[in-house]
Amino acid sequence: MDLSLKILLLFTLMQVKHLFADFYLQTIWMLTGRDTYLHLGRAAHSAIHAGLSIVIFALFSVPPVWLLAIFVIEFVIHFHVDFWKARENVVKKLTPEDAAFWRAMGFDQALHHLTGIGLIWLWLNFIV
């Protein structure tokens, strides 16, 4: 398969993964109390994201040591971005009626997508 097609497929799979992990596989347990730093629900949610990413990258024959690195990078970033958003919403008492709530949501989503872009950059520059 041509490299540009691989890149496009990888971006597409990462977008679909994000949709499912954030909006279909996330439970109330994962969402409730997320403003507490050591939150098992947020850790589980982050692990789902990271785990699905390594499944995707494994389809592209990424070596196991790199799969582990991808898992750790995505888990740590996702965990902390979601913690920031939860704290922002709680501290500022933001609800969906507040414009700042949606700005925080948009920033959160942008950081998650930029993480995927960074992982693809890592793949292109160090793994392929």
Q: Would you place residue 1 in the very low, low, confident or very high pLDDT band (cuts 50, 70, 90)? A: confident
Closest CA to 81 of 28, 45, 119: 45
pLDDT for 79 beyond 90: yes
How many domains in the chain? 1
Closest CA to 70 of 31, 122, 3: 122
pLDDT digits (tens, 9 = 90+) for 44-58: 999 999 999 999 999
Q: Which domain holds residue 121?
A: 3-127
pLDDT for 11 beyond 90: yes
Average pLDDT over residues 9-38: 96
Q: Would you place residue 83 in the very low, low, confident or very high pLDDT band (cuts 50, 70, 90)? A: very high
Reduced 3-state DSSP string for 67-111: HHHHHHHHHHHHHHHHHHHHHHHHHCCCCCCCHHHHHHHHHHHHH
Cα 127 to chain centroid, rounded: 20
Total H helices, total E strands in the chain: 5, 0
- In this predicted structure, what is the pLDDT of residue 97? 98
